[in-house]
Amino acid sequence: MSGEQPSEEVAPGSATTGSGRAAGRIVVVTGGARGIGRAIVDRFAAEGATVVIGDLTDPGPVGAGLDVAGHREWVPLDVTDEISVLEFAQSVAAGHGGVDVLVNNAGIMDTRSIADETVADWDLTMAVNLRGPFLMAKHLVPLMDGRDDPAIVNIGSIEGLGANTLHSSYAASKAGVHGLTRALAVELGPAGIRCNAVAPGWIDTELNRGYVDKHPNREQAVADLAALHPVGRIGDAADVAATVLWLADPDAGFVTGQVVTVDGGRMSRLSIPASLSDD
């Protein structure tokens, strides 16, 4: 990744510092080009942070047409490659001097039977979903030294708590993220660094929308998904972003080592056969 220049764009009228819950904070978000990651980027920027997007994919005009108080930029990053992570850390250190918040969001998911999963398939999922957060913490934690209430927020999944069929590598990797979260909280706590995870449920992202769009009766599929959730709807990426913002905020200063489930109550609802349901 060396030799590539980061792109920077600031929305008209925005500034590198401003008002908001994250004003003046330097926030790194991996996988921030789209989906949940992009929502996290947008929320922190709206709250006045300077957000560095680490992603292989160019997020496009990161500040265009948005009313934000903060600043966003993209630095190319491959979370599976330690050299790329080192160069990313050096770029952030040179440009901003340190990091207040690290959000490990980059992740991949494939749907395969255990018989069809190859060693290469398995290793790639583990490299992105689990090695990535490890490498990012290893090389960005030194940039948190001396910062005010630094925090790491990892994006896990309800599939780190339960599992869907054909998701063995994904579920295993996300359970690993939850374990890594607890271990980092214990190890880094004495240095003043908190570490928590968010476990999203079904979130309305482009990826999940693709699954729904394949259904012959899309409206029925959406209704059935909503019915799984006690709150009566599927999640929005902004729901996850709001939780990440809170976990990174000093208001959550006594919260560490936790996996916060953001799933509209889905994991709390016990299943029951339709024939016995009172609904």
The pLDDT value recorded for residue 177 is 98
Domains, in order of start, for the chain: 7-266 (3.40.50.720)
Alpha carbon dihedral 109, 249, 138, 76, in 10-degree steps, equals 60
For residue 155, the model assigns a pLDDT of 98
Per-residue pLDDT tens for 80-98? 999 999 999 999 999 999 9
Rounded to a whole number, what is the distance in angstroms from the first to the last CA of the chain? 55
Weakly modelled stretches of the chain, pLDDT under 50: 1-17, 65
Which residues are bridge partners to 153 per DSSP?
103, 196
> Any idea which residues carry the catalytic annotation?
170
Q: How much is the pLDDT for 55? A: 98
Q: Which residues contact 6 (CB under 8 A, 6 or more apart)?
A: 73, 74, 75, 76, 91, 95
pLDDT at 114: 96
pLDDT of residue 80: 98
What pLDDT is stored for residue 274 in this prediction? 74
Task: Quote the radius of gyration of the chain (alpha carbons, Å).
Answer: 19
> Which residue, 120, 102, 7, 17, is CA-closest to 60?
7
The whole model's pTM is what?
0.90
